Amino acid sequence: MALLEVDRLRIEFPTRRGVLVAVDDISFSIDQGEVLGVVGESGAGKSITGAAIIGLLEPPGQIAHGTIRLQGQQINGLPNEAMRRIRGAKIGVIFQDPLTSLNPLYTIGRQLVQTITTHTDLTTSQARDRAIDLLNEVGIPAAKRRIDSYPHEFSGGMRQRVVIALALCAKPGLIIADEPTTALDVSIQAQIISLLRRLCQEHRTAIMLITHDMGVIAETADRVAVMYAGRIAEIGPLRDVVKNPKHPYTVGLMDSIPVIEEENDELAHIKGAMPGLQEIPLGCSFNPRCPDAFDQCRRERPDLMPTGNPNQVAACWKYDGTTNND
Amino acid sequence: MTDPYQDPLTSSPLLEVRDLSKYFALSSRWLSRIFTRQPRPVLKAIDGLSFQILRGQTFGLVGESGCGKSTVARVIVGLYAPTRGEILFEGQFVNQRNHRFSRASLHSRMQMIFQDPYASLDTRWRVRDIIAEPIRAFKLAQSRAALRNRVAELLLQVGLSPSDGGKYPHEFSGGQRQRISIARAISSNPDFLVCDEPTSALDVSVQAQILNLIKELQRRLGLTYLFISHNLAVVHHISDHVGVMYLGRLCEVAPKRILFSQPQHPYTRMLLDTIPDLSLTGRKRQPVTGEVPNPINPPSGCPFHPRCPVTNERCQVEQPHPGASGESMVACHAVEENRLQ
């Protein structure tokens, strides 16, 4: 059984001018100890999906239908109090900006100890020892001394390590990491990526890694889901999606990333831009930008379908009728 | 010191900076300063930079945040006055007081594109007025009809339609807004554009469009660029020469192909090693250690020595100066002493 199962999730934002569909019927699952990379451009619905899983969807956003199951138990629609206990204990969260996810008025020790005592039976002094262990584990030098520092006394990379320690407090089985390295410099990004990967291997923690940066995904993920305009365009093992993308959007996305090994004068690019939520076209949402679009693409919305590779599915009519036995 | 670009066949430098420095005085309370008898702390945002940009070429400047990249851009276009050093544009000194009256003509030839297309366009102006502002300011159009035609031509040039001129910036996406700022930047027929992280706020598929546009304009209009970015792959794609900055100093300047194939400075090597591996070769890499130190209180000697794998006593006390090594200029004692393999 998968650790997290998302089934036909649809997230809507009712507005005065009609209902905006931010996430439209997406399904995926994450296994224990697996890193699922969710990649897409801004506005594709990646972060909203993450927020829905942890029950922090900002109103007026709401789950219109679909289920989110953690270890087989449905967690969407739970009362706030029950959800609060799951958040932190079973699902840890890492946000993009480490400065806003830490309280500037409390020492990091106080924040860690509070989180640990909330979710476990440890006493305050035991919790403090555990906090120091956690800080050591995420690579904060002189953790014993630094635990009584305030967030502003840390650099950006060190702050993000503290945030990761906070997410690990109650040993959750799943961590939702929303752009965890975007605010950091490249050399710090590399350190945080290897830290996340190490934690994932050592604790069998599953990570849902949300990012716009295909490079981060390539370094971390086991499987990749590519999102476009509120839908999953393609999902499959990292190597297959990166090396042999099936959906025309993924193909264009991979081609538009400049690569050092290649010397070309012009980058391939996808014409136009992703449509806003109020102007999603009929049929496949990618059809106006798609080089391969045909009639059916403009009329009917494709669901994820087999592409010939047993693990890789894509929402594209090109693969209609393809079976995985080919 | 030999000049790595000295080649009589190549074109002359359009822009040259020599020993350029910009210090910021940080105020601390004067009373505590008097009591502790400490001098006013100084942030050396850029310290002793020298490089040239050849006409029609792109010089990429790369480094992590806080290394002084953007300060270089701002000093060159004249938004900050340099603390020390010289800026030469077509061999003419730019930053000397007695040349002040010629600044207007200079500014029409030197323009800048900023990172955030949401912040750099006035939300209350129509796009055609945004683009026309430099033309009006430098009095480059003879009549209103000429102005209108020029704006329409500029919009077409950056891939927008002339009818977009009547709209406001909020009606455009991030990539289109960056096209508008490019149109504004080229509206005064500049020779030289400073691009400060022009694609960092954009999604990758849009980034590719803007990078292609920047390159196409260079071919068509013969523009020279100073291109600043933290993204090595982008710098590699767009540049002819690349300078790597660390804590306000240039560690290495080299032709692009050489910098990326034979990096010499240990910092350049470390940076190149952090580039995510999209071809999934699973190559082993040197683990990155440490962080950029606080620029107010930089390490003694070579600023990179606390993170450097090949540091020795000399690096801790003596600041390295850029010296030629092959086709590159490298500021590193280890390179100079041949301590690197």
* Chain B partners within 8 Å of A191 (Cβ): 287-289
For CA atoms A42, A31, A236, A195, the dihedral sign is positive
| CB-nearest partner of A267 from B173, B211, B231 | B211
Minimal Cα distance from A191: which residue of B?
Answer: B288
* Chain B partners within 8 Å of A257 (Cβ): 204, 208, 233, 278
| CB-nearest partner of A194 from B234, B260, B287 | B287
- A174-200 mean pLDDT: 87
Which 3 state secondary structure label does DSSP give A37? strand
Number of CB pairs < 8 Å for A and B?
Answer: 109
CA atoms of B60 and B75, how far apart (whole Å):
16
Place of tokens 């009606």: B171
pLDDT digits (tens, 9 = 90+) for A229-286: 999 999 999 999 999 999 999 999 999 888 887 777 788 888 888 888 888 899 999 9
Q: Where are the domains of chain A?
A: 235-258+268-326
pLDDT confidence bin for A84, thresholds 50/70/90: confident
A187 touching chain B per CB within 8 A: yes
Q: Dihedral of the CA atoms B84, B89, B93, B94 (nearest 10)?
A: -70
CA atoms of A199 and A206, how far apart (whole Å):
10
| pLDDT value of residue B180 | 95
Specify whether the CB–CB gap between A223 and A235 falls below 8 A.
Answer: yes
Question: At residue B162, what is the residue type?
Answer: P
A108-111 — which CB contacts under 8 Å span 24+ positions?
A108/A135, A108/A146, A108/A147, A108/A149, A108/A150, A108/A151, A108/A154, A108/A162, A109/A147, A109/A148, A111/A166
DSSP-assigned letter for residue B298: P
Say yes or no for a CB contact (<8 Å) between B278 and A259. Answer: yes
Place of tokens 């798609």: A290
**Nearest Cα to A216, choosing from A178, A241, A189?**
A189
B258 touching chain A per CB within 8 A: no
What are the distances in angstroms from CA A255 to CA A244, A275, A314, B207?
Answer: 12, 20, 18, 12
Place of tokens 């009589």: B8
| pLDDT value of residue A187 | 81
- Dig out the tokens for B178 from the structure: 């960056």
Strands (DSSP E) along B70-215, which ranges? 84-89, 92-93, 110-113, 192-196
CATH class of B13-239: alpha beta
Place of tokens 């050591």: A136
- A111-137 mean pLDDT: 92
pLDDT tens over chain B, length 341 residues: 344 444 444 568 999 999 999 998 876 666 676 777 777 778 889 999 999 999 999 999 999 888 889 899 999 988 888 999 999 988 888 766 555 546 677 788 899 999 888 889 999 999 999 999 999 988 888 899 999 999 999 999 999 999 999 999 999 988 899 999 999 999 999 999 999 999 988 888 889 999 999 999 999 999 999 999 999 999 999 999 999 999 999 999 999 999 999 999 999 999 888 888 787 776 667 777 777 888 888 888 999 999 898 888 999 999 999 999 888 999 999 998 888 76
- Dig out the tokens for B84 from the structure: 């020390």
Say yes or no for a CB contact (<8 Å) between A259 and B292. Answer: no
Task: Categorise residue A215: left if φ over 0, alpha if ψ from -120 to 50, beta otherwise.
Answer: alpha
Specify whether the CB–CB gap between A37 and A238 falls below 8 A.
Answer: yes
- Dig out the tokens for B77 from the structure: 């276009």
* Chain B partners within 8 Å of A261 (Cβ): 279
B279 touching chain A per CB within 8 A: yes
**Nearest Cα to A187, choosing from B134, B292, B323, B336?**
B292
* Chain A partners within 8 Å of B304 (Cβ): none
Q: For the complex shown, is ipTM > 0.95?
A: no
**Nearest Cα to A34, choosing from A208, A226, A214?**
A208
Say yes or no for a CB contact (<8 Å) between B260 and A216. Answer: no
B282 touching chain A per CB within 8 A: no
Say yes or no for a CB contact (<8 Å) between B232 and A238. Answer: no
* Chain B partners within 8 Å of A273 (Cβ): 173, 175-176, 205-206
Least confidently predicted of A92-96, A311-315, B330-334: A92-96
Say yes or no for a CB contact (<8 Å) between A214 and B278. Answer: yes
CA atoms of B239 and B259, how far apart (whole Å):
11
Minimal Cα distance from B260: which residue of A?
Answer: A260
Q: How far is CA A133 from the centre of its chain?
A: 27
- Dig out the tokens for B227 from the structure: 């291109």
Query: Nearest CA of chain B to the CA of A243: how many Å?
Result: 7
| CB-nearest partner of A189 from B176, B274, B289 | B274
Q: To 5 degrees, how large is the angle CA A212–CA A216–CA A220?
A: 130
Q: Give burial (CB, 10 Å; 0-12/13-18/19+) of B165.
A: buried
| CB-nearest partner of B204 from A188, A216, A256 | A256
For CATH 3.40.50.300, list the domain ranges present in chain B.
13-239
Chain A contact probe: residue of B65, B237, B242 with most A CBs at under 10 A: B237
Place of tokens 């014993």: A144
| pLDDT value of residue B29 | 66
Residue B190: phi and psi, rounded to 5, are -75, 160
Q: What is the CA radius of gyration of chain A?
A: 21
Place of tokens 């069998």: A204
CA atoms of B319 and B339, how far apart (whole Å):
17
- A60-89 mean pLDDT: 90
B271 touching chain A per CB within 8 A: yes
Specify whether the CB–CB gap between A145 and A64 falls below 8 A.
Answer: no
| pLDDT value of residue B250 | 94
CA atoms of A47 and A209, how far apart (whole Å):
10
B171 touching chain A per CB within 8 A: no
A99 touching chain B per CB within 8 A: no
**Nearest Cα to A182, choosing from A208, A221, A163, A156?**
A156
Residue A60, preceding peptide bond in cis (omega within 30° of 0): yes
Which 3 state secondary structure label does DSSP give B310? coil
| pLDDT value of residue B4 | 45
Residue B156: phi and psi, rounded to 5, are -65, -40
A18 touching chain B per CB within 8 A: no
Specify whether the CB–CB gap between A228 and A274 falls below 8 A.
Answer: yes
Query: Nearest CA of chain B to the CA of A169: how many Å?
Result: 25
- For residue B53, the surrounding DSSP H or E stretch is strand B42-54
- Dig out the tokens for B192 from the structure: 């030289």
- Dig out the tokens for A107 from the structure: 């020492």
CA atoms of A133 and A173, how far apart (whole Å):
19
